[in-house]
Structure 1
Amino acid sequence: MIIRHAQAAISGPPEIFVKKGSTISLTCSINIHSTPPSSVLWYHGQSVIDFDSPRGGISLETEKTEAGTTSKLLVTKALLSDSGNYTCMPSNATPASTVVHVLNGEHPAAMQTSRANFKQQMSLVLALSLVAVASIR
């Protein structure tokens, strides 16, 4: 008999970039079918997210189905202070985390650098491919 431990997973990449003022949307799925978690807590850093905080604009929607449990965290009008590590912690499963970066501006330098590095890498792959094809002939 194989015993599988329930695992939470946050959909999307391990790092999320959002523009200041937009909505942060995080969806956590828990793959347990027999006993759904009695609760799913969300943490921002080391603190449990307080849905009644003065900040406002934070909501949680949790759905329990035969396929498992899904918990969706929404943080509207993202502030720079909303950046950080977010963890979905079900009562009976391994937690999952993601890092959210709230950026001040339309074209963040970090994303531009990633695109520039990608273009450089693709140019190098193309050049090496052409050299390899030329050497075969």
Structure 2
Amino acid sequence: PDTEIVGGPELFIDRGSTINLTCVVRHSPEPPAYIFWNHNEAIISYSSIRGGISVATERGETSRSVLLIQRARPSDSGNYQCNPSNSRHANVTVHVLNGEHPEAMQHGGNQRMGPSIEVLAFIAYVLLAY
């Protein structure tokens, strides 16, 4: 079976928003009996004093488990792991931001936003030439 957390390996979440992690288990001869979620190697308690944590799991040919953490805070940052009973685990690193805008978030990884310096220079040349 194959296991993945959609959107990984890193997710950037604004403080106060909802963390929505979806674990997908494919190509399994039978649905997993359970799917546990861990945060920094500790099993997540859905009834913790923090509150606002819920999970929904759908088992079938393709199984999904959705972990929702409302009102994200910096302490929610870290490594999340989806652990199906019959497949390898999958990981994602979540960064809860306090209004910061990391380079990867601003520019979509290695992609640039807007025209390159070469394009801008060419446009300036054309405008100045006429």
User: TM-score when scaled to structure 2?
Assistant: 0.80
Structure 2 distance, partners of 1:118, 1:68, is: 32
CA RMSD between the two structures: 2.4
**Are the aligned partners of 2:2 and 2:28 in contact in 1 as well (CA < 8 Å)?**
no
- Distance in structure 2 (CA, Å) of the matches to 1:113 and 1:25: 17
Q: TM-score, normalised on structure 1? A: 0.76
SS at match of 1:81: helix
Contact 1:18/1:103 (8 A) holds in 2: yes
Q: 1:109 to 1:56 in 2, by over 3 A?
A: same
Identify the residue that residue 40 of structure 1 maps to in structure 2.
Answer: 35
SS of alignment partner, residue 59 of structure 2 = strand
1:110 alignment counterpart? 102
How big is each residue's C-alpha offset from its partner over 1:68-127, in whole Å with a ceiling of 9 and x where there is no partner?
21000000000110000100000110110101000011xx24147853x7449x626x57
Could you list the structure 1 runs, at least 4 aligned residues long, displaced by more than 2 angstroms after superposition: 111-115, 117-120
Structure 1 runs not aligned, ≥5 long: 1-5, 131-137
Matched position secondary structure for 2:38: strand
Say which structure is richer in helix: 1
Matched residue pairs, number? 118
In structure 2, C-alpha distance between the alignment counterparts of 1:20 and 1:114, rounded to whole Å: 16
Residue pair 1:10, 1:27 contacting (<8 A) in 2 also: yes
Q: Which runs of 5+ in 2 are unaligned?
A: 123-130
Identity %: 41
CA offsets per residue over residues 39-65 of structure 1, 9 Å max, x none? 100000110000110000000000012
